[in-house]
Amino acid sequence: MDWKIFLTVFASIFIAELGDKTQLATLLFATDRDIGRLNVFLAASAALVVSTAIGVLAGSLLSEFIDPKYLQYIAGIGFIAIGAFTLYNAYAG
């Protein structure tokens, strides 16, 4: 295992997930005293594993047909567009 790549991916995903809708939804489920916290943890963890598996599978399939360099460009443009849209809505709304 390449630990440098592992830690890079881990840090990137960890930072991206902090404070996002998924974490907030998990936080809200955990506040319900009728729901066991272990149950919330296991369900949220399983959901993240499955969604990550879908992302890895989709990336693997796309890289068969599209040069990964272009996929990085597309992803970068997508992130910039989402950021611009978010900033626009914050100032316009």
Whether 4 is covered by a domain: the verdict is no
Nearest to 51 by CA among 26, 82, 85: 26
**Whole-prediction pTM value?**
0.69
- How many domains are there within the chain? 1
At 10, list the tokens: 């881990």
C-alpha distance from residue 50 to each of 45, 56, 87 (Å): 9, 10, 30
**How far apart (Å, rounded) are the C-alpha atoms in residues 6 and 1?**
8
For residue 76, the enclosing domain spans 20-92
Whether 12 is covered by a domain: the verdict is no
Q: What angle do CA 80, 60, 75 make, to 5 degrees?
A: 5
Whether 15 is covered by a domain: the verdict is no
pLDDT of residue 17: 84
The 10s digit of each residue's pLDDT in 4-61 is 999 999 998 888 888 788 888 999 999 998 999 999 999 999 999 999 999 999 989 9
